[in-house]
């Protein structure tokens, strides 16, 4: 079904999130106060950083202690893929392959580091359930994080947690405009929604959430970021 | 500067593009006829497929001839990274690492295959210059294609040609909300705009172009998809 277009709306005014805070409450209030309240059929994208903070996924770390940093990265990894200097590319317990196991030193208090949420899908579901219960809106939720990638410079946002929307859309059994089976069979939908949202969030402006409005209704179903993880046995680059 | 949000607008009614067609003319007319004409400050995203068709980057190929397919992929590659069955991951002459050298069998006439544009940046610039000359609009142009990636399932769109916008935004010398230097130094902006546009284009609906409206003005400058190519010497996964 042809799209009529999307709106990508930053949610300003969320404020600082502290351990124990309910993200759904803060995000819904900020969206409302900004004049762009959440609506049914929206996909809310929330950065991993604020989810980690809300869930208390903060540890003590002396940022200048290189050995301590490396030990922390290793403790958050199940498998190291590559090392170069201070850079470690590893597989996290979730199955994500990324730099430094997603351990983040920015936007946290000095002497602390933020770790990835233990179960980002569950984090996404928690926010979605809370929005349904408190704000009576039925939305999907994606938890996003910023990853590098091989072969290409720069970082982009990807989905690490998903609730209420397909992470992968299977185009198998659809045909192209000339009636033939498509070569492209799996579209990583959640990994397109996450970077779209990042365009309005901004690493330096501290906007931690955005609404992606207008996505095709047929994409909304139960989903999981695990759909996005390629098994090591199928991966040619481990 | 905080974003006020984006609109992602599909351009319907572009029609079939044939060798020799001017994409700028078709896209501008379709956008106008759809009630969403191109405007200054827009970023136009156009799929590689229609650019390849317009530029006559079509070759004869018997789709059922596996050996012929492999020979074509190899001829479009400067280096093979991996093989598995019919799948070849290779580096193209442009420096892109992708499956099957970007050779595409879908949405072309039977007996043909579409190759990547020879110089997608130049293709983007051509469209941009034509829009300025014919429609008096100053827009950026991104040529997008659909690539797979290691470690994660599914395909996403990336930028293979860029004109008039930064492909990479350097966040070095910016600080986070707590005043410290950001760890994230390079944002692959064009590789976030491309998948955002893909969300409204759709592999099966045949919409070959979309407008991304509302991007930060400071991002508009001369740019190139070559900024996105990580040199092999810096790449840990070759």
Residues of B in contact with A208 (CB under 8 A): none
Which residue's structure tokens are 């095709």? Answer: A216
What's the CA gap between A44 and B109, in Å, rounded? Answer: 40
pLDDT by residue for chain B (238 residues), tens digit each? 567 899 999 999 999 999 999 999 999 999 999 999 999 999 999 999 999 999 999 999 998 888 999 999 999 999 999 999 888 999 999 999 999 999 987 766 778 999 999 999 999 999 999 999 999 999 999 999 999 999 999 999 999 999 999 999 987 655 555 555 545 579 999 999 999 999 999 765 679 999 999 999 999 999 999 999 998 888 889 8
* pLDDT higher than 90, residue A108: no
Matching residue, tokens 């991951």: B89
Query: Which positions in chain B touch A191 (Cβ < 8 Å)?
Result: 152, 154, 156, 195
Q: Cβ of B187 and A203 within 8 Å?
A: yes
Chain B residues inside the 8 Å CB shell of A8: 5-8, 196, 214
- The 10 Å CB-count burial string (b at 16+, else e) for B5-32 is bbbbbbbbebeebeeebebbebbbbbbe
Domain end residue (candidates: A101, A116, A131): A116
Identify the helix (H) or strand (E) that includes residue A23: helix A23-33
In chain B, the number of structural domains is 2
B37 and B62: one domain?
Answer: no
- Give me the domain span that covers residue B84: 58-116
Q: Does residue A237 form part of some domain?
A: no
Domain shared by B134 and B17, yes or no? yes
Q: Do A54 and A19 touch, CB atoms closer than 8 A?
A: yes
Query: B211 to chain A nearest CA, in Å?
Result: 9
- Cα of A111 to nearest chain B Cα, Å: 13
Residues of A with CB below 8 A from B12's CB? 2
- What residue in A sits closest to B203 (Cα-Cα)? A176
Q: Which of A66, A85, A116 is the last residue in one of the domains? A: A116
Distance separating alpha carbons of residues A143 and A121, to the nearest angstrom: 8
In a domain, B235, yes or no: no
Asked if the Cβ–Cβ distance from B192 to A89 is below 8 Å, we say no
- Among residues B116, B138, B154, the one where a domain terminates is B116
User: Are residues B107 and B125 part of one domain?
Assistant: no
Residues from chain B contacting residue A192 (CB–CB below 8 Å): 156-157, 195-196, 198-199
Judgement on whether residues B148 and B221 belong to the same structural domain of the protein: yes
Indicate the angle between helix axes B190-201 and A190-201, nearest 10 degrees.
130
Cβ distance B107 to A228 less than 8 Å, yes or no, reads no
Residue A142 in any domain: the answer is: yes
Query: Residue B19 maps to which CATH number?
Result: 3.30.1330.100
Query: Would you call A156 and B191 a contact, using CB atoms and an 8 Å cutoff?
Result: yes
Structure tokens at B128: 């941009």
Mutate to test the interface with B, among A112, A148, A152, A155 (most CBs of B within 10 A): A152
> Do B140 and B207 fall into the same domain?
yes
Nearest to B171 by CA among B189, B157, B158, B155: B189
Neighbour-count burial for B192-212, b at 16+ CB within 10 Å, e otherwise: bbbbbbbbbbbbbbbbbbbbb
Pair B9, B90 in one domain: no
In this complex, which of A104, A155, A174 lies closest to B188 when CB atoms are compared? A155
| CA A198-B167-B48 angle, 5° bins | 95
The tens digit of pLDDT for each residue in A109-165 reads 778 999 999 999 999 999 999 999 999 999 999 999 999 999 999 999 999 999 999
Residue of A64, A47, A65, A67 whose CA lies nearest to A114: A47
> What is the three-state SS of chain B?
CCCCCEEEEECCCCCCCCCCCCHHHHHHHHHHHCCCCCCCCCEEEEEHHHHHHHCCCEEECCCCCHHHHHHHHHHCEEEEEEEECCEEEEEECCCCEEEHHHCECCCCCCCEEECCCCCHHHHHHHHHHHHHHHHCCCCEEEEEEEECCCCECCEEEEEEEEECCCCCEECCCCECCCCCECCCCEECCHHHHHHHHHHHHCCCCCCCEEEEECCCHHHCCCCCHHHHECCHHHCCCC
Is A105 in Cβ contact with B177 (below 8 Å)? no
Q: A51 and A124 share a domain?
A: yes
Residues of chain B contacting A171 with CB distance shorter than 8 Å = 203-204
Pairing relationship of beta strands B43-47 and B140-147 according to DSSP bridges: parallel
Instruction: Decide if A158 is inside a domain.
Output: yes
- Do B67 and B18 sit in the same domain of this protein? no
Element (H, E) at A197: helix A190-201
Evaluate whether B31 touches B11 at the Cβ level (below 8 Å): yes
The ipTM estimated for the assembled molecules is: 0.94
Number of cross-chain residue pairs from A and B with Cβ atoms under 8 Å apart:
244
CA distance A76 to chain B (A): 18
Residues B137 and B207 in one domain: yes
The Cα of A62 is separated from the nearest Cα of chain B by a number of Å equal to 15
Tokens matching residue A161: 């947690």
Which residues of chain A are within 8 Å of residue B150 when distances are taken between CB atoms? 97, 150, 230, 235-238
| In a shared domain, residues B140 and B23 | yes
Contact status, residue A223 vs residue A165, Cβ threshold 8 Å: yes
Confidence at residue A180, expressed as pLDDT on a 0 to 100 scale: 55
Q: CA separation (Å) from A182 to A20, A173, B200?
A: 47, 8, 18
- CATH number of the domain bearing residue B92: 3.90.1660.10
Q: Is residue B175 part of a domain?
A: yes
Q: Does residue A136 fall inside a structural domain?
A: yes
DSSP class of residue A100 equals G
Contact A202 B3 (CB under 8 A): yes
**Measured between alpha carbons, how far is A149 from B183 in angstroms, rounded to an integer?**
16
Which single residue is written with the structure tokens 């199940």?
A78
B126 and B45 assigned to the same domain: yes
Q: Are B100 and B48 in contact (CB under 8 A)?
A: no
In a domain, A235, yes or no: no
Same domain? For B147 and B205 the reply is: yes
Pick the residue from chain A with its C-alpha nearest to B95: A151
- Summarised one tens digit per residue, pLDDT across range A186-228 is 999 999 999 999 999 976 567 999 999 999 999 999 999 999 9
Nearest by CB: A184 against B155, B168, B206? B155
In contact, A212 and A42? CB cutoff 8 Å: yes
In a domain, A231, yes or no: no
CA angle A116, A118, A120 (to 5 degrees): 80
Which residues from chain A sit within 8 angstroms of residue B102, using beta carbons? none
């Amino acid at each position: 079904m042809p799209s009529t277009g999307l709106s990508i709306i930053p949610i300003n005014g969320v404020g600082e999130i502290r351990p124990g805070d309910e993200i759904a409450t803060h995000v819904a209030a900020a969206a409302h106060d900004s004049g762009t309240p959440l609506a049914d059929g929206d996909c809310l994208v929330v950065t991993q950083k604020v989810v980690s903070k809300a869930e208390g996924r903060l540890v003590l770390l002396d940022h200048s202690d290189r050995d301590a940093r490396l030990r922390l990265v290793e403790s958050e990894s199940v498998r190291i893929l590559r090392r170069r200097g201070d850079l470690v590319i590893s597989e996290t317990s979730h199955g994500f392959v990324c730099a430094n196991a997603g351990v983040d030193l920015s936007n946290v208090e000095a002497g602390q580091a933020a770790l990835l949420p233990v179960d980002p899908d569950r984090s996404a579901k928690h926010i979605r359930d809370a929005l349904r219960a408190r704000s009576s809106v039925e939305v999907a939720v994606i938890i996003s994080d910023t990853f590098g990638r091989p072969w290409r410079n720069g970082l982009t946002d990807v989905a690490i947690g998903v609730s209420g929307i397909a992470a992968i859309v299977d185009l198998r059994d659809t045909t192209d405009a000339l009636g033939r089976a498509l070569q492209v069979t799996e579209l990583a939908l959640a990994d397109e929604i996450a970077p779209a949202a990042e365009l309005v969030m901004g690493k330096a402006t501290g906007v931690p959430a955005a609404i992606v409005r207008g996505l095709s209704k047929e994409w909304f179903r139960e989903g999981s970021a695990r759909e996005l993880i390629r098994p090591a046995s199928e991966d040619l680059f481990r």
